[in-house]
Amino acid sequence: MAAPSAEQQNGQSDESDLQSPISTNDEDSETGSGDGALPDYVVDLIEKEIGGDLKSLKKVSSLLEKLTAENKLLEEQVLTVSSSVPLRVSAALSAAEESRVSLEGLLQRERVLSNTLIQHLQGAQPWADSLGRTLEQLDNTEKHMKYLQCVSRIEELSDSIQQCLMTNSIWEAVVAVGSMASLDVGLKQSGCSHLQAFLRDTLHFWHKIIKDRLAGDFEELLIQLHWPFISPPTQSLSPPANAQELHSQLELLVAQLLSLQTSDDLISEKPPSVSRVGLPPTTPLSLPVQIMLLPLSKRFRYHFTGNRQTNSLNKPEWFLTQVLMWMANSSNFMEEKIQPILDRNGANVNAKVELCRGLLTLAQEKLVSDAPRLLYDDALFCHLVDEILQFERELRTTHSYPSTLPGALHVLLDEVVLQKWLTVERKMAIEKVDAMLSAEGAWSSQYKDISDMDELKAPDCAETFMTLLLVITDRYRALPCPRAQLRFLALQRELVDDFRIRLTQVMKEESRNPLGARYCAILNAANYISTVLGDWGDNVFFLQLQQSAVALGEEELLGPLGVTESGRLASLEGSLFEGLLGLLERLRGDMLGRLLEAVMRDVQKKAQPYCRDRWLSLPSQCDQATMSLSSLACPLMQCLRDHLLQLQQMLCLPLFQMGWQDLAERLDLFLYQNVILYNHFNEGGAAQLQFDMTRNLFPLFGHYCKRPENFFKHVKEACVILCLNVGSALLLRDVLRQAEEDEEEPGTPEGQQPSPVTALNELGVYRLAPCDVLILLNLRASWPGK
């Protein structure tokens, strides 16, 4: 037995060495060995491999062999690593030493090369300096040669133009002027100011000569073509005999003038200072159109400047209408005669739009000079604004003037003019509001006799006010500047808030009679304005303004918004009218509440006898031939009916829907608290109450919905409980009392009694709580033994 015991001890030793990493406390292990106890992991291993079966002891030898092999493998790995580490460290040290020696050699070579290079550069510096001076002289010589070549080219082109003009070769002269203009464009970045001035003077000299000659020929030709068309052109019966020749001359002159466009733009270009009109910069007009505008410009200045009778500050429509007439009269000629020539010469220009641009410039200059003189006369200023808006509308629609080009409205964007416009709009709007509120029929609807159009029952003052705001919107909608539009929107919000305050003031005066016609009209007005503003919040135009307000950060309009509010507006979840809608909603809610309180006061007064009826002594249903409405309930039902009809006539449909539903809920609680809970009921009293409610009260509201009893849940369910037969009532009372006892004794087992909520739901009772039902059951007088 000694040998196996030794082997077993060796096996345990090997097993302990193998499993030793598991141990986290060497002292515990040593203590365990000293006490003669095996470590836990050894016991677990023996239990796993051998178990409690003595027949499994034959596995001990195989287990020892396995552990011995694993131990030997671990020893070999340790020996291999221990022997290889010094070799690797030695190799790394040798490589590091070789690298150090190599680095020192490279550094030595670098120092030698650096010294050699410095010596070479020092010796070559004089040569480099000499070569640099030579190259600089060559550059200067080359610049002088190019400068002289430019001068020579300018003189050559000048001589060529002179010879072409002497020989009447206009096309060649035009081409030479175009080359001179191209040379001018190329010299813009050269910095040769004197050369540029010489070239520009030469170009201006020859360009003027050629342009004057072509312009003179073009004007003579236009006269033969009956230009300008002051009145609507008439179709002649037969074309002139030289129509073909005139058309050929027209095409030739237009093409030559187009070739002068580059040089004309260079000569006529102006410094980038802001013009008086304050309009965004646009490209120059086409040269042929500039010449065609000359007679129209002369006529315009003749009639609408100076001391002429046609130059009247209070008649801006005269010159605006004249400009529109000239556009209309010249439209066909520009489209049929000039546009094809422009297209054949590759000019990307719309002849009709070009003429409109030129005529519009005349109107703009006139408006800019007249607008400051009208700032102190509100009537004339308003007339000017209206005429400009009408002119702009006609220009964009009838004449299809592109929206990308500035129109007459840009004149109104000047800060002084725009501020005056806002001031006048505010002043006139307030005056109109004062007038409409003091009018005789301010609080009556103009559609009161037309049922199809009087759904909102808006009083005349509210409808006129919203029409006023809509007109303001139509006026500023076409403004090309979102920031200016937002200023008008801020004005509209201010006017709405002012009108709300006025409604509140009138409401306070009428609050003594909340059932009066004027009080209801004020309520309808608040609802109408709120409805219209809600629709505006979903309008595309106002949604675009909302996006512009967020992008521009208009705090005056939006207020100090947080990140969440700004995000809601940017994502179109909110509305620019949210604040106003909240105030109007509160006003509407307060007014409707006061109105219903007045109705309830009247109803409660009429209901007092009914609340004190003899519910304990009424005959049972079987003792009556037919059930009829309780005599004490007649005043209550009549009062309620009259008020419902009155509210339906005076309130708009949405408000009436809200009103009768709220009234029904208030009446439900009143009857439940003051009739049902205040009294005890015998069988006849419960039946009479149910008849009064289900056959008389509920049908009063049945005109407005299909199931009016859903708005009287307390009364309806209370009648169900009071009218239960005795057996069902006893059973229900036992269930509810047992549920109360179970709640007081938490240890009581569940599931023996039905749930009180389930029992009530089976009877159709959903609103009343079990404790309320117990109270109602105690109000019954028809219990056995009583």
**SS3 per-residue string spanning 363-425:** HHHHHHHHHHHHCCCHHHHHHHHHHHHHHHHHHHHCCCCCCCCCCHHHHHHCHHHHHHHHHHH
Q: Are 210 and 170 in contact (CB under 8 A)?
A: yes
Query: Is 284:263 a contact under the CB 8 Å cutoff?
Result: no
The two structure tokens encoding residue 715: 């009364």
- Which residue, among 290, 291, 365, 352, has the nearest Cα to 326 in the 3D structure? 352
Nearest to 742 by CA among 732, 753, 757: 753
For residue 139, give both structure tokens.
């550059």
3 state SS of 681:
strand
Q: What is the dihedral of CA 431, 435, 438, 440, to 10 degrees?
A: -170
CATH (one of 1.20.58, 1.20.1300, 2.60.40, 2.30.30) for 613-743+752-779: 1.20.58
Helix (H, G, I), strand (E, B) or coil at 226: coil
Q: For the stretch 89-119, what's the b/e string if a residue is b when 16 or more beta carbons lie within 10 angstroms of its beta carbon? A: eeeeeeeeeeeeeeeeeeeeeeeeeeeeeee
Q: What is the enclosing helix (H) or strand (E) of 560? A: none
CB atoms within 10 A of CB 120: 10
Asked whether the beta carbons of 385 and 475 are under 8 A apart, the reply is: yes
Judge whether 726 and 782 are in contact, CB under 8 Å.
yes
Where does 416-589 sit in CATH, by number? 1.10.357
φ/ψ of residue 681, rounded to 5: -130, 130
Contacts 24+ apart (CB under 8 A), 191-197: 192/147, 192/150, 195/147, 195/150, 195/151
Identify each DSSP E strand in 178-316 by its residue range.
none
Burial of 667 (0-12, 13-18, 19+ CB in 10 A): buried
* 519 Cβ contact list (under 8 Å, min separation 6): 507, 510, 511, 513, 591, 595
What pLDDT is attached to residue 147? 83
DSSP structure string for 441-490 = TTTS-TTTT-GGG-SS---HHHHHHHHHHHHHHHHHTT-S-HHHHHHHHH
Question: Which residues are CB-neighbours of 495 under 8 A, at least 6 positions away?
Answer: 426, 429, 430, 433, 468, 469
What is the tally of helices (H) and strands (E) in the chain? 29, 0
Q: How much is the pLDDT for 273?
A: 35
- Give dist(CA 672, CA 716) in Å, integer: 9
Which residue ranges in the chain fall short of pLDDT 50? 1-35, 237, 271-277, 562-563
CA distance 352 to 334: 6
Vertex 651 angle, CA 645 and 656, to 5°: 75
C-alpha distances out from residue 293 to 288, 533, 587, 634, Å:
9, 48, 61, 88
Those residues whose C-beta lies under 8 Å from the C-beta of residue 350, and which sit 6 or more positions away, are: 339
Query: Domain-by-domain residue ranges, the chain?
Result: 67-166, 270-412, 416-589, 613-743+752-779
Q: How many Cα atoms occupy the beta-carbon half-sphere of 266 within 13 Å? A: 27
Instruction: Report CA dihedral (637, 685, 675, 673) to the nearest 10 degrees.
Output: -130
* Total residue count of the chain as it appears in this document: 786
* Peptide bond just before 288 cis, omega within 30 deg: no
User: What's the token pair of residue 634?
Assistant: 């007649």
Which residues have a Cβ under 8 Å from the Cβ of 385 and sit 6 or more positions away?
412, 421, 424, 475
User: CA angle, corner 515, sides to 513 and 518, nearest 5?
Assistant: 75
Which residue, chain included where needed, has tokens 């909340």? 514
H runs (alpha helix) in 672-786: 683-692, 698-701, 713-722, 726-744, 756-762, 770-778
Query: Hey, is 320 helix, strand or coil?
Result: helix
Q: What is the pTM assigned to this prediction?
A: 0.74
Q: Cis omega (within 30 of 0) on the bond before 228?
A: yes
Beta strand spans in 630-670 (E): none
Residue corresponding to tokens 């409690």: 52
Cα-based angle 216, 222, 223 (whole degrees, multiple of 5): 95
Which two three-digit tokens encode residue 62? 């195989």
DSSP 335: I
pLDDT at 104: 87
What's the rounded Cα separation, in Å, for the pair 188 and 100? 62
d(CA 538, CA 572): 9
Residues facing residue 681 across a β-bridge: 780
Residue with tokens 């050929």: 248
Take residue 396 and report the two structure tokens written for it: 């964009």
Torsion sign, CA atoms 556, 558, 561, 567: negative
Tokens of 718: 């209370």
Residue 169's pLDDT is 84
User: For 312, which DSSP code?
Assistant: -
